[in-house]
């Protein structure tokens, strides 16, 4: 969520349900407290706030390279429609991303649960969502605080009965059990700790910057199925200022990819192929972890380079020297051909600059490790988790395929 905005982003959570009987099937395993990086199935949620001031759209094909699911804001209250929802939903549906719409509950009267549900249902259906098509996840209700004059407050008109009407109406319309996005603190502060209205619905709970402290259970309803762990993670494909990578809400699913696919009506369908991984182009003037990676790999290949993350004249000269030695076009630009010669296969027990490059990339991809240049147990665990999340053989060996997935972030 983005608490500083009046029209706040919402999220959704997912749980599988029988499409014929509506009976809830529990699929989210319980686990000990663990950081978000330990969960391998990740996704985003978006709204019009994720499009820049020029109206630049999201590159959903790029988003699909690093995420399994996407949830899109469709409506708020009984009249508002997100202006990007229909376009984004169509674009997402053309990718392997599992997808669904969400509704931000904005009560204006004690009796508008049905009006908001009908508005959401009409808008979602108009965009092509049915709730039962292959790749479609169940719909979502977002229930949280509102912002008034820059302050977060409880919605005055909120009643549990409204929420009950909304959830039941949406469940009947789409023949799937919706998810509730909320927080334990909201239920305590704004609903008197009475979250029983949510007890039959899986929860997507938010908790930011908490390390391994997972979201607190909702009183009367239980623990999380999805965890929204940040509102500002860099996500390739999201528009940013001056062609930079933009940020978005990021979430993890408390289960396996197979379980998530089952929720999306793909239980007996083979996993779709991942989009082809593309190597990034790194060249003079750029900064960041990919530049640091190039510099460390140059050092590992015998062309000692200062690893300062700045692609200046010195780095360009080293790249050209490496390219010349490899009989490549010596233009100082690190593209596919140079990357494939530059990367070094490393594994448990390896040491040196190439391992440091790997560790920088793992951290940038959300699998934080020490950048000590030693490929020990922690690095092995992080590599296997990354490989599993990206449908690569989880053997802990970092060869060209794993390097390509890492730098394609």
For domain 289-407, give the fold: Muramoyl-pentapeptide Carboxypeptidase; domain 1 (1.10.101)
Q: What per-residue confidence (pLDDT) applies to 226?
A: 94
Low-confidence ranges of the chain (pLDDT < 50): 2-32, 269-276
> Which are the contacts of 150, defined by CB distance < 8 A and separation ≥ 6?
none
Look up the CATH superfamily of 36-263: Glycosidases (3.20.20.80)
Q: What per-residue confidence (pLDDT) applies to 255?
A: 85
Q: What per-residue confidence (pLDDT) applies to 54?
A: 63
> Which are the contacts of 125, defined by CB distance < 8 A and separation ≥ 6?
none
| Structural contact between residues 128 and 90, judged by C-beta atoms closer than 8 angstroms | yes
Q: Which structure tokens are listed for 93?
A: 């549906």
**Residue 254's closest CA among 19, 69, 3?**
69
CA distance 333 to 329: 9
First to last CA, the chain: 22
* Tens digits of residue pLDDT in 140-176: 999 999 888 888 899 988 999 999 999 999 999 999 9
Q: Which structure tokens are listed for 306?
A: 């200062």
Q: What per-residue confidence (pLDDT) applies to 37?
A: 84
> Which are the contacts of 183, defined by CB distance < 8 A and separation ≥ 6?
144, 205, 206, 207, 215, 218
Q: What per-residue confidence (pLDDT) applies to 317?
A: 96
Q: What per-residue confidence (pLDDT) applies to 211?
A: 74
CA distance 135 to 252: 18
**Alpha-carbon torsion 239, 245, 248, 253, what sign?**
positive
Q: What per-residue confidence (pLDDT) applies to 72?
A: 97
Characterise 169 by phi-psi region: left (phi > 0), alpha (psi -120 to 50), beta (else). alpha
Angle formed at CA 45 by CA 141 and CA 97, multiple of 5 degrees: 110
State the number of CA atoms in the 13 A half-sphere of 36 facing the CB.
23
| In the chain, ranges of CATH 3.20.20.80 domains | 36-263
Q: What is the pTM of this model?
A: 0.60
| In the chain, ranges of CATH 1.10.101.10 domains | 289-407
**Residue 360's closest CA among 300, 304, 307, 306?**
307
3-state secondary structure the chain: CCCCCCCCCCCCCCCCECCCCCCECCCCCCCCCCCHHHCCCEEEEECHHHCCCCCCCCCHHHHHHHCCEEEEEEEECCCEECCCHHHHHHHHCCCCCEEEEEEECCCCCCCCHHHHHHHHHHHHHHCCCCCCCCCECCCEEECCCEEECCEEECCCCCCHHHHHHHHHHHHHHHCCCCEEEECHHHHHHHCCCCCHHHCCCCEEEECCCCCCCCCCCECCCECEEEEEEEEEEEEEEEECHHHCEEEEEEEEECCCHHHHHHHCCCCCCCCCCCCCCCCCCECCCCECHHHHHHHHHHHHCCCCCCCCCECCHHHHHHHHHHHHHCCCCCCCCECHHHHHHHCCCECCCCECHHHHHHHHHHHHCCCCCCCCCECCHHHHHHHHHHHHHCCCCCCCCECHHHHHHHHCC
Q: What per-residue confidence (pLDDT) applies to 239?
A: 87
| Structural contact between residues 283 and 311, judged by C-beta atoms closer than 8 angstroms | yes
Q: What per-residue confidence (pLDDT) applies to 85?
A: 97
């Amino acid at each position: 969520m983005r608490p500083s905005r009046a029209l706040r982003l919402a999220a959704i959570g997912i749980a599988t349900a029988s499409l014929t009987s509506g009976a809830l099937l529990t699929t989210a395993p319980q686990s000990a407290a663990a950081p978000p990086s330990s969960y391998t199935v990740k996704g985003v949620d978006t709204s019009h706030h994720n499009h820049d001031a020029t109206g630049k759209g999201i590159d959903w094909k790029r988003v699909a390279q690093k995420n399994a699911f996407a949830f899109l804001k469709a409506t708020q209250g009984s009249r508002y429609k997100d202006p990007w929802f229909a376009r984004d939903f169509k674009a997402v549906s053309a990718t392997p991303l599992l997808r669904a719409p969400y509704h931000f509950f904005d009560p204006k009267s004690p009796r508008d649960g049905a009006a908001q549900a009908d508005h959401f249902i009409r808008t979602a259906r108009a965009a092509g969502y049915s709730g039962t098509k292959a790749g479609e996840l169940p719909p979502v209700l977002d229930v949280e605080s509102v912002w008034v004059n820059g302050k977060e407050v409880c919605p005055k008109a909120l009643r549990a009965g409204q929420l009950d009407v909304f959830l039941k109406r949406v469940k009947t319309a789409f023949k799937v059990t919706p998810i509730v996005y909320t927080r334990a603190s909201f239920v305590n502060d704004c609903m008197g700790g009475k979250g029983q209205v949510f007890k039959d619905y899986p929860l997507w709970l938010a908790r930011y910057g908490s390390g391994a402290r997972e979201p607190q259970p909702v009183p009367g309803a239980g623990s999380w199925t999805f965890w929204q762990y940040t509102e500002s993670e860099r996500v390739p494909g999201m528009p940013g200022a001056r062609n930079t990578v933009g940020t978005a809400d990021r979430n993890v699913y408390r289960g396996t990819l197979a379980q998530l696919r089952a929720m999306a009506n793909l239980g007996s369908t083979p996993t779709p192929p991942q989009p082809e991984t593309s190597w990034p182009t790194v060249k003079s003037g750029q900064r960041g972890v990919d530049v640091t990676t190039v510099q460390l790999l140059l050092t590992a290949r015998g062309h000692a380079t200062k690893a300062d993350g700045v692609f200046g004249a010195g780095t360009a000269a080293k790249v050209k020297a490496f390219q010349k030695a490899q009989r490549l076009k010596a233009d100082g630009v690190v593209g596919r051909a140079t990357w494939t010669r530059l990367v070094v296969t490393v594994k448990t027990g390896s040491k040196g600059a190439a391992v440091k490059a790997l560790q920088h990339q793992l951290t940038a991809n959300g699998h934080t490790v020490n950048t000590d240049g030693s490929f020990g147990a922690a690095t092995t665990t992080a590599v296997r988790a990354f490989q599993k999340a990206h449908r690569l053989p989880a053997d802990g060996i970092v060869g060209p395929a794993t390097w390509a997935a890492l730098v394609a972030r």
